[in-house]
Amino acid sequence: MRSSIDPKLDFDRVPYDDYVHATTLHRLQRTLSDDPGEMSFLMISQVMELYFGLIHFELVGVQKKLRDDDVWGSLLPLRRAALHLEGLNAGWQTLRWMTPGDFHRFRNLLGEGSGFQSAMYRRLEFRLGLKTASLIRPFHHQPEVYAELEESLREPSVWDDVIALLARHGHAVPDSLLVRDFSVEHRAHRAVEAAWVRIYADDGPENRLRLLGEALTEVAERFDDWRYLHLKAVRRSMGNRTGTGGSSGMTWLRRSMTRLVFPELFTARTVME
């Protein structure tokens, strides 16, 4: 007889597996060699993909709140996104054991495969405002994925919605920033920078835009951490070699780090008092 504190053990189906699909997840690690390092690399890559999707999901929710002028409501999904980025970044720590020799024992099995070709990462970048139209080209042979990427490219980013919010709150934002081709990456603008200087000058408890700025800053900084940790992982495992997908490896990653997420939040700090 089962006591009141024992878990129920008899089911027609396992409810946990029905909900989490754990069995399916654990069948997705299909390595091409017997090298144990490949299992680490593959599984961490898959975990990172799941985090990309989760962070993207949160940012879509942020945009819905911003478009409804619900600044307070946008803060929690931004906080969650920042914490998810911390989880994502922790994945790099579990690969720190990998020497060049460890990586090169299975690197050739990747062929031309590369994280550079992650569709969900690309959608996440677009959502954060880092727009490069040519980067959706590899997905032409996946019509559904290509359509999702094209839509993400053309939609306003989180930062575009923040700028529109600032305009609705009375800040002098030029129309050229509000009605434009959103597939083209936003460039830092003095009017947006000036708006953030004014917002941060008011440190009163009712200034929700200042809270929004700090929540966005946290997301931007954690995303910068991701890019830097990626660079470090590549430097550790393969130095300046060409990337598996044909990119210039570390040179490409260094260049990508110069593109700021939410740029005026940082340029404005030069003149804040």
Q: Which residues are annotated as a binding site for heme?
A: 230
Widest pairwise Cα distance in the chain: 73
Q: Find, among 170, 165, 271, the residue nearest to 215 by Cα.
A: 165
Which residues does the annotation place in the binding site for substrate? Answer: 107, 244
Indicate if the alpha-carbon torsion angle 217, 221, 222, 224 is positive or negative.
positive
Which residues does the annotation place in the binding site? Answer: 107, 230, 244
State both tokens at 126: 């677009």
CA distances from 159 to 57, 127, 130, 135, 154 (A): 16, 8, 10, 20, 14
Residues whose CB is less than 8 angstroms from the CB of residue 111 and which lie 6 or more positions away in sequence, other chains included: 244
State both tokens at 95: 């690969």
